[in-house]
A and B are shown apart, each in its own frame.
Chain A
Amino acid sequence: MLSSTKSMGDIDFVVPPRIRPNGARNAIPEGSCHGLLTMLNTARQQQFQNLIAKSGWDRLLLYGHSWRKDFFRSLVNFSFFGPHAAAILEKSGDVRILTTHPWDRDALDSAAFDDVRLDSDFDRGLSALLRGADDQRIGVAGLELLETRFARTLGRATHHPAASATKAVETLRQAKTPDEIEQVRKAARLADMGYRFFVDTAEVGMAEHELVAEIEGFLKARGAEDNFMLIGSGGAEVFGMHPPTERRFQAGDNITTELSPQVNGYFAQICRTLVLGEPSPKQRESFEIFRKAQQAAEDFLKPGVNISDLARVQNDVFRAAGFGEYTTSKYTRVRGHNLGLHPDENPYVLEDVDCVVNESMVVIAHPNTYLPMSGYMVFGDTLLVNATGCESLSATEKNLFTKGI
């Protein structure tokens, strides 16, 4: 039988009020939906202005492409169609935006941004945007993602190699603002609803990709703009998760999923394992190790601890049970990661990653790995670091889920 989660009802997806950028000129037309589409993150704007001053830059460029929109969206929270977009933040706080699709330009232009440009040739548009930038120093968040031709254009325009602002901006983004935390909470609630639907829908004979299609439709209809999702099914022969295949579920399968809906730009994640039918003693024994490891992480996480130790406390549970071998990269990727505008943000929770945890970070701790007695299992919650510890944003029961067949 399905283990129930508490009823959460419909989520109220009220988008935060659009905040006008410095120097904004336009009134928002009555009835326009663009105000709901686009917002300038003014808290980040101020942080980034401080970063510009501290780093001796003249401007900060935040780049995004269709896969990694997160640096762009950390200032201008708009899900562009793309494939490219850039926002330039001046020392004064003024924002200029370059888009490559006319529909992106239209949406941003009517959302009261002062300077929104369109050039389907991003390289040419970048060159025009930087005209007169001779001898300026520009920090670029997302420099590593730029096509090399774009980085060369930046260098030619300024006569300086572009400076990477990626790490500095990532570090600022690790601690979420109150508005951002609100979005992550909504995403976590949607993840709970999505997982409940996942358990309700999965059945023997259904193909992995059919279940995923059901979940995608469910989440989109309730306001997810995207969802990062992996799945695995089977028994002790399963070593990980992957995109959905044509494999059909069988009695006794572990069905593992990492479900990560994105709401207004921000991802939350939940990892759970569902057994079709009565779990075997080995499946139960295995899951108990995952449960203890995740609980160890949740008990440990607080401001001031190191992310390497967050990995260690999870791995220690496996070591104590005699399964230390299965905490290595041969069997698992990470013991968790940061969440935000990208579903897989730095820092990764690994014993060799040195990063001090701060309040308002949002981390998923998931000791997902292979164990020989059960195959690959997953278990994890989205955790918000508060002043004294952390709060799980996931309301779904911390169980090995089972479904009668």
Chain B
Amino acid sequence: MKRGLIVWDRNEIPPAVFHDRIDAFRRVLQHRGLPACVVYSDLWRSNRVRSLQNFMPYFNRALLVIPVEGPTTLICGLSPRVYKWIQSVTPIVDIRPGRNFAAALEGLAAEREWDRLGVLDEAGLPFDMHAGLMNTHLELIDVEAEAVACPALDSTEIAMRRKSAAMARIVLQAEIGYGAGRTDYELAGRLEHGLRRAGAEDVVVLIGHTGSAPHPATGQNLEDEYSVSLAVEYRGHWIRMSRCHADEARTRALTDRFNRTLNMKPEEFDAGVIVEDLSGGNPYQSVDSRAVHVGRLWALHVVDDRSPHIVHGDTCLATPDGWDLL
């Protein structure tokens, strides 16, 4: 859960970046004749609103309303007591309480004289929120996610993901050996500490050992051979990374196999390659390798043929020229 640093460093992501992303979104709405579009966000599915306005509802839900003209509006389940904090970490000025999201949206629409609205990935809305919106007088039009997001075309997005990957790589390399002879709890704690001190906002640690695929720590003792698989979020930018702690020959063999995978097309992957989509509404989502296409970020993990606990993986951008390792 979120408890790391949520911040907006304007040198890292200049305001113009969010402005340009909103402008691109608006062009899609204009093309479709829509006066505005609603984008859903919650603690876990925050990528889209984070990318557009840097907002993260750290234990709650929110709707970002993007009008064709004028500033964005945030309808937010968090208390008005934290609006000042929200305004300090986002370019959003207009924030409204969202105890009843449908009523708040209907009120905004009435103010702006909208009777129809786009909804980004309408079928992805939580069922209760969708039911509430369907009970308003508003006509809701689906806007598919692919129409408004393409990470490969956004150099800031790629740069931030590289930064996230670099941070995870440094911490993981420094700490992975700490686990040998200790419990997986101790290793998980060490990684959590190192990553959060380095600025990670959210961290998920899985540890694979004694023949078991990576899973949450259970207090078991680690022997000499194990793997760590991380999901790390740095300032809204998730990456995945897996590394093994094993003898040099085994580690090299797995790394070589991973590098060979990077020279393959997805349809050539063997069954020991796990693919995850890192460009969707969720931070990560396992997919069939046939789903891979250019212009999105993916995680590739290769699993040792004989030992499911030995894993190596990284985050990559699929480009027309092949895999670009972040």
CB distance from B10 to the nearest CB of A (A): 13
Q: Which residues of A contact B4 (CB under 8 A)?
A: 209, 212-213, 243-244
B125:A147 contact, CB within 8 angstroms: yes
Which of A98-106, A284-292, A315-323 binds B? A98-106
> How far is it, in angstroms, between the C-alpha of A120 and the C-alpha of B274 when the chains are bound?
11
Q: Which of B85, B212, B213, B283 contacts A242 (CB 8 A)?
A: B85
**CB-contact partner of B193 in A37, A216, A246, under 8 A:** A216
Q: Which residue of B lies closest to A259 (CB)?
A: B3
A220 at the interface (CB under 8 A from B): yes
> Least Cβ distance of A103 to chain B in Å?
4
* Residue pair A100, B285 in contact (C-beta under 8 Å): yes
Residues of A within 8 A of B5 (CB): 209, 243-246
State which residues 223-252 of A face B: CB under 8 Å: 223, 225-230, 239-240, 242-246
Measured between beta carbons, the chain B residues less than 8 angstroms from A24 are: none
Q: Cβ of A132 < 8 Å from any Cβ of B?
A: no
- Given the known inter-chain contacts A216-B196, A242-B85, please indicate yes or no for A225 contacting B189, CB distance below 8 A: no
Name the residue of chain B whose CB is nearest to the CB of A146.
B127
> Is the pair A217, B3 in contact by a Cβ cutoff of 8 Å?
no
8 A Cβ contacts from A187-212 to B: 209-210, 212
A36 within 8 A of B: yes
**B123–A148 contact, CB under 8 A?**
yes
Which residues of chain A are within 8 angstroms of B282 by Cβ–Cβ distance? 66, 82-83
Q: Verify A34–B212 contact, CB threshold 8 A.
A: yes
Closest to A120 in B: B286
Is B255 an interface residue when CB atoms closer than 8 A count as contact? no
Q: Which residues of A contact B79 (CB under 8 A)?
A: 240, 329, 333
Residues of A contacting B82 in the complex (Cβ-Cβ under 8 angstroms):
240, 242
A49 to B45, CA, bound (A): 32
Cβ-neighbour of A221 out of B1, B42, B189, B213 (below 8 A)? B189
Q: Which residue of B lies closest to A242 (CB)?
A: B85
Confirm or deny: B304 has a beta carbon within 8 angstroms of a beta carbon on chain A: no
B56 to chain A: closest residue by CB: A243
Q: Which residues of B contact A228 (CB under 8 A)?
A: 1, 3, 59
In the assembled complex, which residues on chain A have CB atoms less than 8 Å from the CB atom of B192? 213, 216-217, 220-221
Size of B's binding interface in residues, CB under 8 A: 65
Interface status of B209 (Cβ within 8 A of chain A): yes
A300 interface residue per 8 A CB criterion:
no
Whether A36 contacts B218 in the complex (CB less than 8 A), given A83-B284, A103-B206, A243-B3, comes out as: yes
> Would you call B196 and A209 a contact (CB within 8 A)?
yes
CB distance from B214 to the nearest CB of A (A): 6
Query: Using a CB-CB cutoff of 8 Å, which residues 81-116 of chain A contact chain B?
Result: 81-83, 100-103, 106-107, 110
Provide the bound-state CA to CA distance between A150 and B199, in Å. Answer: 35
Given A100-B285, A148-B124, A243-B2, A33 and B186 contact (CB-CB distance below 8 Å): no
The yes or no answer to B157 lying at the interface (CB within 8 A) is no
Chain A residues whose CB sits within 8 angstroms of the CB of B130 once the complex forms: 148
- A227 in contact with B81 (CB, 8 Å): no
Contact partners of A217 in chain B: CB under 8 A = 189-190, 192-194, 196
Are the C-beta atoms of A331 and B212 separated by less than 8 Å?
Answer: no
Q: Is the CB of A81 within 8 A of B206?
A: yes
With A101-B286, A217-B192: A152-B123 Cβ-Cβ less than 8 Å: yes
Quick check: A120 and B126 within 8 Å, CB to CB? no
Which residues of the other chain, B, contact A131 by a CB distance below 8 angstroms?
none
Does B43 sit at the interface, judged by CB under 8 A?
A: yes
A65 within 8 A of B: yes
Q: Please indicate the chain B residues that have their CB under 8 angstroms from the CB of A31 in the complex.
A: 210
Nearest chain B CB to A71 CB, angstrom units: 13
> Is B107 interfacial (CB 8 A cutoff)?
no
Q: Say yes or no: A223 contacts B219, CB within 8 Å.
A: yes
A388 within 8 A of B: no
Residues in A neighbouring B215, C-beta threshold 8 A: 33-34, 37, 81, 103, 107
- A325 near B: Cβ within 8 Å? no
A331/B81 in contact, CB under 8 A: yes
Q: Chain A: residues with CB nearer than 8 A to chain B?
A: 13, 15, 31-34, 36-37, 65-67, 79, 81-83, 100-103, 106-107, 110, 120, 143-152, 209-210, 212-214, 216-223, 225-230, 239-240, 242-246, 329-331, 333, 344, 370
CB pairs A–B below 8 angstroms (18 shown)? A33-B209, A81-B204, A209-B199, A212-B196, A213-B4, A216-B189, A216-B196, A218-B189, A220-B189, A227-B3, A228-B1, A230-B3, A240-B81, A242-B82, A244-B5, A245-B5, A246-B5, A246-B7
Residues of chain B having any CB pair with chain A under 8 Å: 1-7, 42-45, 56, 58-59, 79-82, 84-85, 122-128, 130, 185-186, 188-190, 192-194, 196-197, 199, 203-206, 209-220, 229, 274, 282-288, 308
